[in-house]
Amino acid sequence: MWRSSSIFSFDTLTSTSRITRSFLLTLAVCAACRLWFYAASDHLDHIPAPAIPQRYIQLEQVLIRDATKKPKIVLMGNSLTRYGLLEDQIAQAAGLQSGEVVNLAIEASRAWDARVLMTRNPEFFEDVQIVTYNIELYQILQPFVDERLPYFYRFSTPWEKLKADRLEDRAKLMLDWLWPYHSERRSLVAWWLGWQGDPDYVKAAGLRDAWKPKQMAKKLARKRSTQARRRERSDEVAPWDGRATSSHEVAISALHQQILKEFIAHWQQLGVRLLLIRTPHSDAYCKEYERNNCAHRDRQIRFDAMLEALCDKNTVYLHWERGSEIGLDYETDFMDDWHLTPKGAQKLTAVVIDAVQERRWLPLENVTSNDLQIVSTR
Amino acid sequence: MLFNTFAFIVFLVIVLGAYYALAHRWQNRMLLAVSYFFYACWDWRFLSLLAASTIVDYCVSHALYRSTVPARRKAYLLVSIIINLGVLCVFKYLGFFVESMNGLLASFGFGPLSAPLQVILPVGISFYTFQTMGYTIDVYRRQQKPESRFVNFALYVSYFPQLVAGPIERARNLLPRICDKRIVTAEQIGTGIQLMLMGYLKKVAIADAVAPYVERIFADPSSQSSLQLLLGLYLFAIQIYGDFSGYSDIARGVSRLFGIELMINFKQPYLSANITEFWRRWHISLSTWLRDYLYIPLGGNRKGTLNTYRNLMLTMLIGGLWHGASWTFVIWGGLHGVYLSLHKFYTGDRKVTASHPGLPTWGAAVRWLACVIVTFHLVCLTWLFFRTPSFELAWTYLAGLTHGTTACELRLLAVVGFYVLLMLIIDIPCWVRNNELPITARTPWYVAGIAQAAAVILLSFIGEGHVAEFIYFQF
């Protein structure tokens, strides 16, 4: 035993704290509040959270919640759709009014995000007849999935969160849901009190930030420096001799592959026409990539084959490797190796419109949401 | 290490666990070590300053106590003051002095005295310098016996809950609590945690939550309407009060868990009915320090009316300068000096008593409310100079206030209303019961339980993900 003269005496605390009734009540109220959040989780999932980059909230707010019309044509996918397909040009070709074609692309997204968007806003998609989805191999590659969780995971329901394919992700998402480190709970209060959103918060023009003159100038400057580097490298590196230079096998995320298939199957079941598009990259980039990464090319071929196998009479997969295949000029039509300038987007949109017209998908049939319901029941 | 971080909570739990196990002598040694560790988390390089200030005042106080020769005692005191103020001046005011001199010389067509200096301000230097100076002056006045044990004295200077932003403790308050054996009761733990909770609520859920609005309005006052500028001032008044009194509450709560009572630093200042009362309720540890070590030695109100006004002005100007090396702080102090002088002129020799509930008639209550509103607005006007970094911006803000434009975001009105209400919900019960906490032993258990739960939920609702520093750390 310690003596009173020694280092330890344990005599500072005269009595341990009593568990008072008020303390118990505090605990009970806090627990009840948390339980209420549990019960209201679906409700919470519909609240834009400030932690999500604003443009995604804008997207949902401006294009879906504030929309006065239900769209007939929906353009989904990633930034290549946002900066590649022009909704107004398609609307004009289809004889539709503005607002009946919407661009719901989410930067660096995948089928999961598109699906969550659909799950969260089912009524919005009731009259859709054509969906374009911008599809890229990266969307199902495990390293990319590891890098960051899909944006709309934050919006997903607990059950969707539990579907994440790795235990670590499931744990992370559930922990975030139980005790969010972003301001989800504050959003609830702010939303109720009507404080959500600055005047600039929902500006549709902001959805194509990169086409603003200042941003565009930056992008083009970066493109020029990439070009210069590429020129230097091409002097040093010998042309590709056809052998694989990188045999590194990249894992495919089974979950995201499955979700992609589910996404396609969803529209097929509804009888909605689905146009899967892989937009072309710049010629210089393709050349460089092929030279340096043969394994990627093999994966891409397998990926293309998988998608083609999923196609039916209402589903088409359009894919191009290089911009030159559809007359895109690197100098004037590309902002970088992947994203297009407004001029390039016009060209790509025209090509897509031609492809759709060729299949006699345009003009649209006069189908109502009820008809679609019948189709889906069948 | 900020109070409003998870790291601090972990640190506190570990320190408390060890503290309750240790014997008294070892408790003080441990507290001293963790206080130095706490300070080193900010910037270990300035530990030497803290140690130097401690050693100087420890030695000087003993020399002062032993000496009976008045001239020698004065010399010892002077050594302490020069060293303490010298360090403070170098780190806090040298850059300001050089900048002001350069400006003055430039206005006469001369070249600059020196290139502008960028001196890092050691956190809490103004607080612990005043604390040690107060101790030495007390020993000089023979109001305080010097502490014989160096560990105890060093802990008095560096005690971590109040080291970086006060309260500026007096030796006669804090030293006996450090020297005596301490006992911590269940009630102390309960009220300590409640104080911490209230402090976190003020800091995280109020001050940090209004900060972005304040930032936006003060960043560009020319683009705001008069009404928005006025709301911006209200919000800053809420922010600075929530921030500083929140810090003081957390410090007091943490200290109470160690069984060491710190002085009350804020007593619902915005419910003051006049400016004199305001200064009895706002930053009490500083205002009483200035009163005891500056205003009274200058003569206080004993040397005629004019000298009283002069002393008030000087005290408040120095108080303003204590807050920061900038002319806007001097103006802030000067304005308070003018207010206090005018109030002194108005009241004359009548004793100013603190207003308190139990106002006899409706008429008296309305009069009191009007006085509170006027005092609050006068204080808000001074906050304008406190918050703006330059005169230009302050004038722009003032000019904007006088334009009379009333365009206003509805959201801003709602924000002001919500946080004013929240502040009143916390402050009114304390004020009515003259208690440090809104919840007392007489509060029904269900009210206490719901109030505590509301505080926790509010904290998690409104609390931002990011951790904001306390405003008073810069002083």
One DSSP character per residue, A71-135 reads -SEEEESSHHHHTT--HHHHHHHHTPPTTSEEE---TT--HHHHHHHHHH-GGGGTT--EEEEE-
In tens, the pLDDT along B379-405 reads 999 999 989 888 888 999 999 888 878
Question: Best residue in B29, B452, B459, B466 to probe A by mutation, most A CBs within 10 Å?
Answer: B452
- Structure tokens that stand for B158 in this block: 């560096």
Between the alpha carbon of residue B48 and those of residues A285, B40, B54, B77, the distances in Å are: 58, 10, 10, 22
Helix axes B362-387, B327-347, angle to 10 degrees: 160
The question of whether B323 is a catalytic residue gets the answer yes
Taking an 8 Å cut-off on Cβ atoms, the answer to whether B449 and A25 are in contact is yes
B456 pLDDT above the threshold of 90: no
Q: Is A20 on the interface with B (CB under 8 A)?
A: yes
Measured CA to CA in angstroms, residue A45 lies from A39, A152, B379 at distances of 12, 10, 44
Which CATH homologous superfamily contains domain A53-236+265-377? SGNH hydrolase (3.40.50.1110)
CB proximity B142 to A under 8 Å = no
Of B244, B281, B282, the closest CA to residue B473 belongs to B244
Contact (CB<8Å) B449/A188:
no
Query: Looking at the predicted structure, is the pLDDT value of residue B167 above 70?
Result: yes
Tell me what the pLDDT averaged over chain B comes to.
86
Task: Report the pLDDT averaged over residues B445-473.
Answer: 73
Neighbouring residues of B59: CB distance < 8 A, sequence distance ≥ 6: none
Q: Is A49 exposed, middle or buried (0-12, 13-18, 19+ CB in 10 A)?
A: buried
Q: Rounded distance, CA B314 to CA B347, Å? A: 20
Lowest-confidence segment of A261-275, A333-347, B94-108, B130-144 by average pLDDT: B94-108
Range B343-372 average pLDDT:
77
First to last CA, chain A: 82
Burial class (CB in 10 A: 0-12, 13-18, 19+), B308: buried
Q: Return d(Cα A33, Cα B457) in angstroms, integer.
A: 8
- Is residue B312's pLDDT more than 50? yes
Alpha-carbon gap, residue A283 to B404, rounded angstroms:
62
pLDDT top residue among B442 and A373: B442
Residue of A nearest to B184 (CA): A13
Residue A76, strand partner residues: A133
d(CA B140, CA B134): 10
Q: Give contacts of B6 with chain A, Cβ < 8 Å.
A: none
Instruction: Please tell me the predicted confidence (pLDDT) of residue B339.
Output: 93
Instruction: Judge: B449–A26 Cβ closer than 8 Å, yes or no.
Output: yes
Query: Is residue B339 exposed (0-12), middle (13-18) or buried (19+ Cβ within 10 Å)?
Result: buried
Rounded mean pLDDT, B318-338: 88
- The rounded distance, in Å, linking the Cα atoms of B111 and B296 is 41
In this structure, the number of other CB atoms found within 10 A of the CB of residue A179 comes to 10
Mean local confidence (pLDDT), B396-423:
84
Classify residue A172 by burial, with Cβ atoms within 10 Å: 0-12, 13-18, 19+: middle
What residue spans define the domains of chain B?
A: 6-165+176-182, 187-273+355-474
A130-134 vs A273-278, strand pairing mode? parallel
| Contact between B452 and A23 using a beta-carbon 8 Å cutoff | yes
Contact B173, B159 (CB under 8 A): no
Residue B419 has pLDDT above 80, yes or no: yes
* B127 or B461, which is more confident: B127
- Distance (Å, whole) CA A24 – CA A6: 38
- At residue B153, the pLDDT reads 93
- Mutate which of A9, A185, A188 to test chain B, going by most B C-beta atoms within 10 A? A9
Contact assignment for B461 to A5 by CB distance below 8 Å:
no
- pLDDT for A13: 80
Residue A192: predicted pLDDT: 47
Helix or strand (DSSP H, E) at A230? helix A213-236
Q: Which residues of chain A have pLDDT under 70?
A: 1-5, 15-18, 37-59, 61, 145-206, 233-249, 289-295, 365-378
Cβ separation B414–A189 shorter than 8 A: no
pLDDT of residue B45: 82
Q: What is the pLDDT of residue B280?
A: 92
The full set of domain ranges for chain A reads 53-236+265-377
Residue tagged active-site, from B323, B356, B377, B466: B323
Q: Which residue of A has its CA nearest to B441?
A: A22
What is the rounded average pLDDT of the residues B9-16?
Answer: 90
Best of B28, B461, B464 to substitute, by most chain A Cβ atoms within 10 angstroms, is B461
- B449 to A51: CB separation less than 8 angstroms, yes or no: no
Say how many CA atoms lie within 13 Å of B451 toward its Cβ: 18
Cβ B113 vs Cβ B101: under 8 Å: yes
- The residue of chain A nearest to residue B257, with distances taken between CA atoms, is A13
- Among the partner-chain residues B19, B184, B464, the one whose CB lies closest to the CB of A14 is B184
Position A240 scores a pLDDT of 47
Query: Is B17 at the interface with chain A, CB within 8 A?
Result: no
Tokens representing residue B207 in the block: 């001050």
For the whole model, what pTM was predicted? 0.66
Q: Model confidence at B408, in pLDDT bands (50, 70, 90)?
A: confident
Q: Which of B186, B457, B460 lies at the smallest CB-CB distance from A17?
A: B186
Judge contact between A37 and A185, C-beta under 8 A.
yes
SS (H, E, C) chain B: CCCCCHHHHHHHHHHHHHHHHECHHHHHHHHHHHHHHHHHHHHHHHHHHHHHHHHHHHHHHHHHHHCCCHHHHHHHHHHHHHHHHHHHHHHHHHHHHHHHHHHHHHHCCCCCCCCCCCCCCCCCHHHHHHHHHHHHHHHHCCCCCCCCCHHHHHHHHHCHHHCCCCCCCCHHHHHHHHHCCCCECHHHHHHHHHHHHHHHHHHHHHHHHHHHHHHHHHHCHHHCCHHHHHHHHHHHHHHHHHHHHHHHHHHHHHHHHCCCCCCCCCCCHHHCCCHHHHHHHCCHHHHHHHHHHHHCCCCCCCCCHHHHHHHHHHHHHHHHHHHCCCHHHHHHHHHHHHHHHHHHHHHCCCCCCCCCCCCCCHHHHHHHHHHHHHHHHHHHHHHHHHHCCCHHHHHHHHHHHHCCCCCCCHHHHHHHHHHHHHHHHHHHHHHHHCCCCCCCCCCCHHHHHHHHHHHHHHHHHHCCCCCCCCHHHHC
Q: Cα(A241)–Cα(B242) distance, rounded to whole angstroms?
A: 70
Q: Which residues 199-238 in chain A show a CB within 8 A of chain B?
A: 199
Closest CA to B422 of B438, B443, B442, B446: B438
The reply to whether residue B453 touches residue A29, judged by beta carbons under 8 angstroms, is yes
Chain B contact present for A357, CB below 8 A: no
Collect all residues with Cβ–Cβ distance below 8 Å to A212 and sequence separation of at least 6.
none
Element (H, E) at A143: helix A142-147
pLDDT in tens, B209-222: 888 788 888 888 88
Residues of B in contact with A10 (CB under 8 A): 20-21
Question: What is the rounded average pLDDT of the residues B6-25?
Answer: 88
- pLDDT: which is higher, A65 or B32: B32
Q: Do A4 and B23 touch (CB under 8 A)?
A: yes
Q: Which residues on chain A are in Cβ contact (under 8 Å) with B24?
A: 9
> Residue A338 corresponds to which tokens in the numbers above?
């992947």
C-alpha to C-alpha distance for B210 and B359, rounded to whole angstroms? 33
Record: contact A25-B446, CB cut-off 8 A:
yes
CA distance B25 to B150: 12
**How many whole angstroms separate alpha carbon B466 and alpha carbon B474?**
19
Contact residues, chain B, for A17 at CB < 8 Å: 186, 189-190
Taking Cα atoms as reference points, which of B15, B17, B43, B44 lies closest to residue B31? B15
Cα–Cα distance, B156 to B53 (Å, whole number): 12
pLDDT in tens, A312-337: 888 999 999 888 899 999 888 999 88
ipTM value: 0.74
Query: Computed over its alpha carbons, how large is the radius of gyration of chain A?
Result: 26
Range with the poorest average pLDDT among A53-62, B99-108, B227-236:
A53-62
Higher pLDDT, A314 or B353: A314
**What is the identity of the amino acid at B165?**
A
Distance in angstroms (rounded) separating the CA atoms of residues B294 and B132: 15
- Condensed to tens digits (0 to 9), the pLDDT of residues B59-92 reads 999 999 888 888 999 999 999 999 988 888 888 7
Percentage of residues of chain B with pLDDT beyond 90: 39
What local confidence, expressed as pLDDT, does residue A10 receive?
75
Sign of CA pseudo-dihedral B410, B416, B419, B422: negative
Q: Is A12 helix (H, G, I), strand (E, B) or coil?
A: coil
Q: What is the pLDDT of residue A222?
A: 85
